[in-house]
Amino acid sequence: MATGVHSFSAFHLRNFHRFQHHISKRPSGNFSKAVDFGNPSREPQNRRSFSHKTMSNLDQAKTIAAEKAVHEYVKDKMCLGVGSGSTVALAVRVLADKIHKEKLHVICIPTSFQARQLILENNLILGDLNSHPKLDVAIDGADECDANLTLIKGGGGCLAQEKVVASCAEQFIVIADHTKKSSKLGEKWSKGVPIEVLPCGYTPVANKIQELFGGVAELRMAKMKAGPVVTDNGNFILDWKFSTDKIFDWEKTNTAIKMIPGVVETGLFVGMAKKAYFGMEDGSVSTI
């Protein structure tokens, strides 16, 4: 029995030395990363500093717009609505840098599952509208913004929650790149006005919109799944492609569409935005 124990120990001793030799050959950084079980004092990976040089031109434009808006509107001890979409994904990085560096206490209210994840991944304080129904500021992107600050939103399918959050804010601020700035709606955004609808009634709603306002209202189909896009609220989306030759009173149009049974919300944001920041091609920021 003793021989067996000695033989067993020698076997493991030889393998232990081999393991030590193997580890000594590996770069220390890789090994330390492999055994890192999470140190709360470390900076979250998502908060690594980023450079404009590594971004596309449009991402640079979105980022400089976000930097301007965050610098001017985000203050200590405030409740902030956090929008959704590609521009806001960049803006949250700017927001996190400011909050952590300046040690601000900011409660962030998400407008979507995406926004919620961005808040958590960047180690920000997550809240909700039921606990914080009054917001100081909401910052969100737009698919298009005209000269009157009338917006089309909902390209990412989050229009209903985005509008609820924006309506709860004292100041609703829009950030976007220069391709979203237009003199009138439909000038640059050709995918139509998103309209969130109950799944049981998307066909009669589409027919009614076309009957009242013309154009074509199409059910938005998913790209990575079979069937239609389903919102965070479990609804469908119609994209109403209106005639750009026709002049619309967008406030009346928005109200009329919302009165159609089966409509949950529209992607028309009329009279809600206080200010819009657009990152321009030359690196400047234009405002409305």
Provide mean pLDDT across the span 124-128.
Answer: 97
Catalytic position from the list 67, 144, 162, 265 = 162
- The strand order across the sheet containing 268-269 reads 144-145, 151-152, 268-269
pTM, rounded to two decimals? 0.79
List, for residues 148-168, the tens digit of each pLDDT value: 999 999 999 999 999 999 999
The pLDDT assigned to 56 comes to: 84
Provide mean pLDDT across the span 52-73.
Answer: 88
List, for residues 255-275, the tens digit of each pLDDT value: 999 999 999 999 999 999 999
d(CA 265, CA 25): 60
Dihedral sign, CA of 198, 201, 206, 209?
A: negative
Residue 39 contacts residue 67 (beta carbons within 8 Å): no
Find the DSSP H helices in 74-217. 86-102, 113-121, 159-167, 202-213
Find the DSSP H helices in 26-158. 28-34, 57-73, 86-102, 113-121
Q: How many CB atoms lie within 10 A of CB 203?
A: 13
The pLDDT assigned to 127 comes to: 97
The pLDDT assigned to 55 comes to: 74
Average pLDDT, the chain: 86
Provide mean pLDDT across the span 57-86.
Answer: 95
What CA dihedral angle connects 64, 66, 71 and 75, to 10 degrees?
Answer: -170
d(CA 73, CA 139): 9
Tell me the pLDDT band of 53, cut-offs 50, 70 and 90.
low
pLDDT at 213 exceeding the cut of 90: yes
Task: Report which residue type is found at 259.
Answer: M
162 as an active site residue: the answer is yes
